[in-house]
Amino acid sequence: MAESWVNSAERIGADLHLELSGSGGRRAALIDALREAVRGGRLAPGTLLPPYRSLAADLGVARNTVADAYAELVAEGWLTARQGSGTRVADRTRPLRVQPPRHAGNRPVTAPPRARAPRHDLRQGTPDASAFPRAAWLASYRRALQQAPDEVFGPGDPAGRIELREALTEYLARARGVRTAPDRLVICSGFAHGLRLLFGQGGGGVLRGPLAVEAYGLGFHRELLRTAGVRTVPVPVDEHGARVGELARERAVLLTPAHQFPTGGPLHAGRRAAVIDWARARGGVVLEDDYDGEFRYDRKPVGAVQGLDPERVILLGSVSKSLSPALRLGWLVLPERYVQDVLAAKGEREAWASVLDQLSLADFITSGSYDRQVRRMRQRYRSRRDRLVAALAARAPHIEVTGVAAGLHAVLRLPPGTERSALKAAAWQDVALDGLAAFRHPEAGTTGPGAGVQDGLVVGYATPSEAGFGAALEALCEVLPPDAPTGSAAGPTNEPPDTPADAPTGSPAAG
């Protein structure tokens, strides 16, 4: 019987694909192929190469041919060989005798510079990355992997793993007042993915526009909807949230009822009831962005609007604020009539969230680790909020701070006409901040309550590490505009001369 290639003892070792070409013989061809694999980056520094006999068998050449090629490349500096540790690709910081320097004209070719992180990052949108619960998540991942049935490693369910949908059903009912069942949940890879599933591309989604949105919100979401062919219509906001009484002929509205983004504050109870009445009368639907509903500090918990009428509200949530945006896990809680259409939009082979991550999150929730992490971070973020408010009271008492009863950011109200110059000063001091104007809908009205242009800074107090938060607060206070006598123009402190008008001011993060 012919020898099996798969089981041959001569083919033990790592696979290495090489194309041997040229007329200089097999040894020369092998040397050239290995050089090119290293030079092109296909074989990274430290890569362990196959043993002589394994590579010789794979390439159909003599073992001595491979040994000679390895020896030549070791001598040239391409490879290193050490007794007991095999042959490896050399560190590229070592000089290579054969490789000529690359130039563009008379200038050496260098890699493009990587974007440098700001010294003080006070942009909204991300939690403290250093606080991710690595040990608890690893424990959940291990349990999930050990207990996973074999079917987990085959084709998945577009709705998402039943274990996660059941865990979320219980958690959302307990913590957010959501009324649903596992077969009403669809797992997605975040809020933006959920919007794409609902609105599709070119107006061919489950829902159609125009879509009413709050006059202040994430430009990223508006752009996503615009790309999908959906027109958005701004609804004014005030201290009680969106002015839902001004909804017109739209059939859907996107709201942030637990904590209006970015101005802060929950949707007033009367308006929560009013928007449900509007949806029933219009045959419409409310899209509820529950982006940071777990983080409240000075008020009683505000339940999800979805609990008022599960057949008129689509709730979208994710772990991007409570755990990390890197996990790419979110969910849609759907009225029954939309479930099959959303699953069809998702497709049988859509780019789903990792099944193992879904199982890990399910274990993380059912084991109690998720609740413990939320409570821990709620205490940490409240402490940071308090430090921010105290620093401003001491250093800039003329600056009004709003939207701090919940969430991961605050809004600093500025004197009229000072937002742009404050952002320029912040950029000069290497402080990344978002201006309130960046979140304003381009079609929002300029007059009337809740519609006018407001100057302010959106300060995210969750992003910096614990060690860097104090310095970030100090830098923030340095760039705020000073108090000014009535009738005089206020200008920022430390504003550099001739700062370009388009100096970077940070950008909103997508959830």
> In terms of C-beta distances under 8 Å and separation of at least 24 residues, what long-range contacts does 335-338 make, across chains too?
335/184, 335/285, 335/310, 335/311, 336/184, 336/311, 337/311, 338/206, 338/314
- The CATH code belonging to domain 130-371 is 3.40.640.10
**Counts for the chain of helices (H) and strands (E), in that order:** 13, 19
> Please, what are the averages of pLDDT over each run of 10 residues along the chain (511 residues)?
40 72 82 88 87 86 89 87 82 50 43 64 88 96 95 88 96 94 95 91 75 91 89 92 91 92 90 96 94 77 90 96 93 96 82 87 96 93 93 92 88 91 89 91 66 78 88 91 56 40 37 45
Q: What is the pLDDT of residue 299?
A: 65
Distance of CA 52 to the CA centre of its chain: 45
How far is it, in rounded angstroms, from Cα 263 to Cα 411? 6
CATH 3.40.640.10-classified regions of the chain: 130-371
Q: What is the pLDDT of residue 173?
A: 95
Q: What is the pLDDT of residue 484?
A: 58
CATH 3.90.1150.10-classified regions of the chain: 375-479
- The CATH code belonging to domain 375-479 is 3.90.1150.10
Q: What is the pLDDT of residue 74?
A: 86
Q: What is the pLDDT of residue 449?
A: 45
Record the tokens describing residue 248, joined without a space.
């017109």
CA distances from 387 to 97, 130, 391, 466 (A): 58, 19, 6, 12
Q: What is the pLDDT of residue 490?
A: 42
What pTM value is reported for the model?
A: 0.76
Q: Which CATH class is domain 12-107?
A: mainly alpha
CATH 1.10.10.10-classified regions of the chain: 12-107
